[in-house]
Amino acid sequence: MRTRAIDALVCLLLLSAGLYGQRYSFKRYDQSSGLPNQNVRTLLQDRAGFLWIGTDNGLYRYDGRRYRTFSIVDGLPGARVDALHQTNDGTIWVATSAGLARLRGERFEALNIAPGRSVYALASDGLGRLYVGTGKGLLVSGKAAGATRKPDFDVYTNPRLESQSVRGIAVSGSGLVWYGCGRQLCRWENGSVDSRAEWGVPDDLWGTILIDAKGNVWARSRTMLIELPRGETRFRRRDRDLPPAATEGKLLLGRDGQLWVPTIRGLARRTP
């Protein structure tokens, strides 16, 4: 548990620092500093500068001095928080083990996302559409999912796959969406889902998907790291000498384009 917490906090601090130096200073945030739950699953720094920390048992907002706790009492559908996301209009969305919620003032509003229940991943595009990864498939809002209306979602699945669970989502600038579907990768574009054997994606649970500034697509499982170089049609393995993750495959893309990978042996950085 402590390893996951440290990995997540290290990644956020690297992102905030810009990743421009070769040496970093870190501060540990744990129970002694006021963080009640140590099993950190996800992080978000919002536009106001607040740090949101999603854990196995609650959501916490840190203002630099103290933690504010949000729980089921504050409107969250479930205690375990798997993903956090802020859309272009400033709305903060929370993915929990029991559903989706958005922040309204100082309380959360739970939204009906049937047939999905558990939410694992969140993303949005430049038009404000929200993409929600659930155990039943990919949910896409029909219009901008702002704070003033209840979004309607369309559900997208791949009938050729046994599992429809979506664990990671990445949206390109052109609106092309890559996401983990079951033990494969799928691509969504203009309401159509595609998944091809010729992509060469190994069967695994792909926890994180990223698209870098050059248009290359990256995906990470607990034991593997793969890349689809821009202009190519087949993914390549990029995990030589890379230790596995502790529990879930995580990735971080720094502001300078540097790829960082949390592992059981520490934080790995991809170099030329």
Write out pLDDT tens, residues 101-134.
999 999 999 998 887 789 999 999 988 899 999 9
Taking the chain, what is the end-to-end CA distance rounded to the nearest angstrom?
32
pLDDT of residue 185: 98
> How many angstroms separate the CA atoms of 70 and 179, rounded?
29
Write out pLDDT tens, residues 166-185.
999 999 988 899 999 999 99
What structural domains does the chain harbor? 1-70 (no CATH), 80-269 (2.130.10.10)
Statement: residue 33 has pLDDT above 80: no
| Beta carbons of 41 and 82 less than 8 angstroms apart | yes
pLDDT of residue 14: 47
Percent of all residues in the chain with a pLDDT value above 90, rounded to a whole number? 65
pTM strictly above 0.85: yes
| Beta carbons of 41 and 7 less than 8 angstroms apart | no
Q: pLDDT grade, residue 25 (50/70/90)?
A: low
Write out pLDDT tens, residues 36-66.
777 888 999 999 999 999 999 999 999 988 8
Q: pLDDT grade, residue 135 (50/70/90)?
A: very high
Task: Write down the mean pLDDT value for the chain.
Answer: 87
Quick one: average pLDDT of 248-253? 89
Residue 244: DSSP 8-state:
P
Statement: residue 163 has pLDDT above 60: yes
pLDDT of residue 199: 98
Contacts of 155 (CB under 8 A, 6+ apart): 115, 116, 136, 137, 138, 139
pLDDT of residue 154: 92
At 161, list the tokens: 């796959």
| Beta carbons of 210 and 203 less than 8 angstroms apart | no
122 pairs with which residues across the strands?
132
